[in-house]
Amino acid sequence: MSRKTLEVRIAAGGSYPIHIEPGLLTDVASVCRSQAPAHRYAVIADSQVARLCGPGVMSSLKDAGLDAALIPFPAGEWNKSREQWSSLSDRMLRAGFGRDSAVVALGGGVTGDLAGFVAATYMRGIPVVQIPTTLLAMLDSSVGGKTGVDTEAGKNLVGAFHHPSAVLVDPAVLGTLPRHQRCAGLAEAVKTAAILDAGLWRWIAGRASALVDGEPEASAELIARVVRHKATVVGDDPLERGVREILNFGHTVGHALEALEGYKLLHGEAVAAGMRVEARLGESLGITDGGTSGQIATLLEACGLDGDWETERGPTEIRDAMSKDKKARKARVRCVFLARVGEVATDPDGRHSFALEQEDLAGPLATALRPASEGGDCPDRGRP
């Protein structure tokens, strides 16, 4: 497969490339030199990725004559914290990294968010190159410039927009991931198809087995198709003040579940549960076409995401956790709803999310949390 290069053009000005090619990890140095020239590179990775991928990336940089240091941190979503941000920043300061340095974020979404936030704030901002190593990070968190950390109050409540200088995607590394990690990443692909592209939805449905297995050609094609959509959306709305809201489908409930589970639930698993609940909620409110939640449940099941994580929590505690979401305003929770597969609904003011009164949410949520087998509103599991 030849290299595919997509470009994210930011409405406010500027752009950055997304390179997609199996084996691209061996070409890190040339991309860093051309896209993020720096005196020194801080390669930030969690402990697992540092062990698996760190040596190869460091060899690529050093063989090319680039000064680089590998700075690992403990693996786990719970380490996407202010404490780790502080620790990484302090370690860079002690090592003498200056304003002419750059960060290389090597890993999954936790690393991309955390290392990106370090880059956004270190010396008031230095460049970052994103090298995602999980399917979810390749499809989602590495593109768009969102960085940040979690707090006890909720997910990603402290952060900044800081777009990367480049994104390097090597689909070959997906073969090293556990199956449940690949499945979790497919949640983002299903979300993108659900909000934007019924044709992509059918394409995923026809190749779900190959995608779950991490087949390189199918994975590379999926990444290119999904990232092309995201690049268009974030380019048009880099600071999430308009159409970029649609990317939050499944995330209001999903983030609430993550917080309630102490971030032990994989982000993709939480978003899959969030999409099921928000689709049922949209149907119960008369916003989403009947049968849509069934279509979502069917495709998620084909992608290995049939766990009923949402049924472990009650509607009141999910509602209360939703109220802490960063999109909440004036005691109202904002949710993105589908009109149907491939199309997002808009509210009477033309917004791509709906404001819901917290006090009115418990009842509809109780219905939306019930799976179809227990009588929830999940009819007609057809294909779009």
Of the residues 19, 77, 80, 146, only one is catalytic, namely 146
Of the residues 94, 124, 241, 330, only one is catalytic, namely 124
Of the residues 19, 163, 191, 255, only one is catalytic, namely 255
Is 7 catalytic? The answer is no
Is 267 catalytic? The answer is yes
Three-state SS string across the chain, please? CCCEEEEEECCCCCEEEEEECCCHHHHHHHHHHHHCCCCEEEEEEEHHHHHHCHHHHHHHHHHCCCCEEEEEECCCHHHCCHHHHHHHHHHHHHCCCCCCEEEEEEECHHHHHHHHHHHHHHHHCCCEEEEECCHHHHHHHCCCCEEEEEECCEEEEEEEECCCCEEEECHHHHHHCCHHHHHHHHHHHHHHHHHHCHHHHHHHHHCHHHHHCCCHHHHHHHHHHHHHHHHHHHHHCCCCCCHHHHHHCCHHHHHHHHHHCCCCCCHHHHHHHHHHHHHHHHHHCCCCCCCHHHHHHHHHHHCCCCCCHHHHCCHHHHHHHHCCCCCCECCEEEECCEEECCEECCCCCCCCCEEEEHHHCHHHHHHHCCCHHHCCCCCCCCCC
Which residues of the chain register pLDDT less than 70?
1, 326-331, 370-384
Q: Return the pLDDT at 254.
A: 93
Q: Return the pLDDT at 69.
A: 98
Is 255 catalytic? The answer is yes
Q: Return the pLDDT at 331.
A: 62
Of the residues 155, 225, 230, 334, only one is catalytic, namely 230
Of the residues 77, 188, 283, 310, only one is catalytic, namely 188
Is 343 catalytic? The answer is no
Is 248 catalytic? The answer is yes
Q: Return the pLDDT at 176.
A: 84
Is 4 catalytic? The answer is no
Q: Return the pLDDT at 37.
A: 97
